Amino acid sequence: MIRKIVAGLALVAVVAAGVVLWLGLRHDRDVAGSSPLVMNGADRIERGRYLAQLGDCRACHTVQGSADYAGGRLIPTPFGRFYSPNITPDDDTGIGRWSADDFWLALHEGRGRDGQLLYPVFPYTNYARMARDDSDALYAYLRTLPAVPQPSRAHDLAFPYRWRLMLVGWRALFFRPAVFVPRPEQTPAWNRGAYLVQGLTHCSACHEARNALGGTQARDNPAGGLVLDWYAPVLSASSEAGLQDWPEQHIVDLLASGKSPRASAMGPMAEVVYESLQHASADDLQAMAVYLKSVPLTEKPEPEKALPRVLDQDLPRALASGGKLYAEHCAQCHGDDGKGRTPAGPALAGNRALTMDSAVNPIRIVLFGGYTPGTPGNPRPYGMPPFSSSLSKQEVADVLSYVRRSWGNQARAVTAVEVERNSGGPLW
């Protein structure tokens, strides 16, 4: 009897392993390659240049001060340090020997030219939705770049994520390649916006939380994501970055210039606007606004329980200290009443970037300062000076506790421990 049970369990294990391998390694249906004559067309190359801007490809594949698209940029994650690869058309160190089909498989299935499974820090989970024509146009543009002989740097990953074989199981759980299919009941603008947001501009790659294995968990627990040590707020909650009640023009303004009557872009999002979205066409920006307004609302994300909390008996001291610091360092720009003084200081009263449960971004802005991007719609951006050298961690916590609990704001107070946790990493 025991032998039969053991044999049955072994059979179940074999079948389960087979299913995981099939799901993790299976190919999508074959897609025919493109004609070289078509690939070299000037219109297609120009289309590819535009798509590369929308996809923010240069930003991730370029180290500041180095050759464009030659790779090497550090992308810190909870799983380790990733480095972007060289995607110039160099034969030995870039994608010079890649065909259009090889490039399509990388975007659509997350596979390298040699069949190696790619880590999803490269957002192929979004790019899989791209149409083959757009993949080919992007490939055609990259082929026109100067070839840069620069070897791609190896990733430095924590145990056990350095074992690439684990990606088979990850893909079985979290990835299915599927090209975007327009919804006939929606308008052309909505479908275009959905195609861009879900695919090429890969918004969810930042704005959705990840579980311990790196899979998105928005359906189970709507929350934003930590990206480059900043918090990307969830797009489906009005308390965070939900745009459902915004006028479409305000959304367009934010995407195109980094500044609108309701919000400003700072940190990594300022880079996205500068490198990518400011170059989008008016029609594409309008389409993205239409789609983002339609994203269904979800409940407010659950507070992070692991965060240290300010004790009730310590709160009066923190608020009194924070009020004095605010009057000395902040009121000149943001006003005694927190209503801001345009154009230099935005309002802090009712500012949801300040009142979200996550205090990561306010902490980093106070510590390191920052600017909205310089764009045609915001040609002379005002900036926030850094206070990391003039305020202690406790003082930063106190002033943030004060502004998060003044003028009608009702966010939790901030601790010095939390400030310390968020005082490193890339600075924008």
- Tens digits of residue pLDDT in 199-242: 999 998 999 888 877 887 555 555 678 888 899 999 998 889 99
What angle, rounded to 10 degrees, do the helices at 132-142 and 100-109 form?
120
Give the pLDDT confidence score for residue 26 in this predicted structure.
55
Residue 414 has pLDDT above 90, yes or no: yes
Please choose, from the candidates 213, 220, 328, 227, the residue with its C-alpha nearest in 3D space to the C-alpha of residue 272. Answer: 227
241: left (phi over 0), alpha (psi -120 to 50) or beta: alpha
Identify the H or E element spanning 228: none
Burial letters for 35-52: b for 16+ Cβ neighbours within 10 Å, e otherwise?
A: eeeebeeeebbebbbbbb
CA distance 87 to 223: 32
Please choose, from the candidates 245, 244, 211, the residue with its C-alpha nearest in 3D space to the C-alpha of residue 225. Answer: 211
Rg (alpha carbons) of the chain, rounded to whole number: 24
Give the pLDDT confidence score for residue 23 in this predicted structure.
44
Give the pLDDT confidence score for residue 228 in this predicted structure.
85
Query: Would you kindly state where each structural domain of the chain is located, as residue ranges?
Result: 27-174, 188-294, 312-421
**pLDDT tier for residue 78 given thresholds of 50, 70 and 90:** confident
pTM for the model stands at 0.88
Give the pLDDT confidence score for residue 33 in this predicted structure.
52
Q: Say which CATH topology domain 188-294 has.
A: Cytochrome Bc1 Complex; Chain D, domain 2 (1.10.760)
Q: What average pLDDT does this structure show over 390-406?
A: 97
Please choose, from the candidates 349, 364, 403, the residue with its C-alpha nearest in 3D space to the C-alpha of residue 231. Answer: 364
Of 29 and 312, the structure prediction assigns the larger pLDDT to 312
Question: What values do phi and psi take at 196, rounded to 5?
Answer: -70, -50
Residue 12 has pLDDT above 80, yes or no: no
Residue 373 has pLDDT above 50, yes or no: yes
Residue percentage of the chain with pLDDT more than 90: 73
Neighbours of 325 (CB within 10 A): 20
DSSP bridge partners of 82: 75
CA distance 125 to 108: 8
Q: What average pLDDT does this structure show over 371-391?
A: 92
Residue 276 has pLDDT above 70, yes or no: yes
Of 426 and 415, the structure prediction assigns the larger pLDDT to 415
Is 197 in contact with 126 (CB distance < 8 Å)?
Answer: no
**pLDDT tier for residue 183 given thresholds of 50, 70 and 90:** very high
Residue 15 has pLDDT above 80, yes or no: no
Q: What average pLDDT does this structure show over 301-325?
A: 88
Residue 66 has pLDDT above 70, yes or no: yes
Residue percentage of the chain with pLDDT more than 70: 88
**pLDDT tier for residue 11 given thresholds of 50, 70 and 90:** very low
Question: What values do phi and psi take at 231, rounded to 5?
Answer: -100, 120
Residue 125 has pLDDT above 60, yes or no: yes
Task: Could you list the beta-strand ranges (E) of 112-208.
Answer: 156-157
- Tens digits of residue pLDDT in 249-261: 999 999 999 999 8
Q: What is the mean pLDDT of the chain?
A: 88
CA distances (Å), origin 144, targets 46, 91, 96 = 10, 13, 10
**pLDDT tier for residue 16 given thresholds of 50, 70 and 90:** very low
3-state secondary structure of 80: strand
Residue 24 has pLDDT above 70, yes or no: no
Q: Do domains 188-294 and 312-421 have the same CATH topology?
A: yes
Give the best-scoring range by mean pLDDT among 14-18, 158-162, 326-330.
326-330
- Assigned CATH for 312-421: 1.10.760.10
Helical H runs in 26-131? Answer: 36-39, 42-54, 57-60, 100-109, 124-127
CA distances (Å), origin 356, targets 237, 255, 346, 398 = 10, 21, 16, 17
**Residues in Cβ contact with 328 at an 8 Å cutoff, skipping those fewer than 6 apart:** none
DSSP bridge partners of 157: 80
Q: What average pLDDT does this structure show over 293-302?
A: 86
**Residues in Cβ contact with 195 at an 8 Å cutoff, skipping those fewer than 6 apart:** 129, 180, 182
Give the pLDDT confidence score for residue 100 in this predicted structure.
96
Please choose, from the candidates 145, 142, 141, 131, the residue with its C-alpha nearest in 3D space to the C-alpha of residue 42. Answer: 141
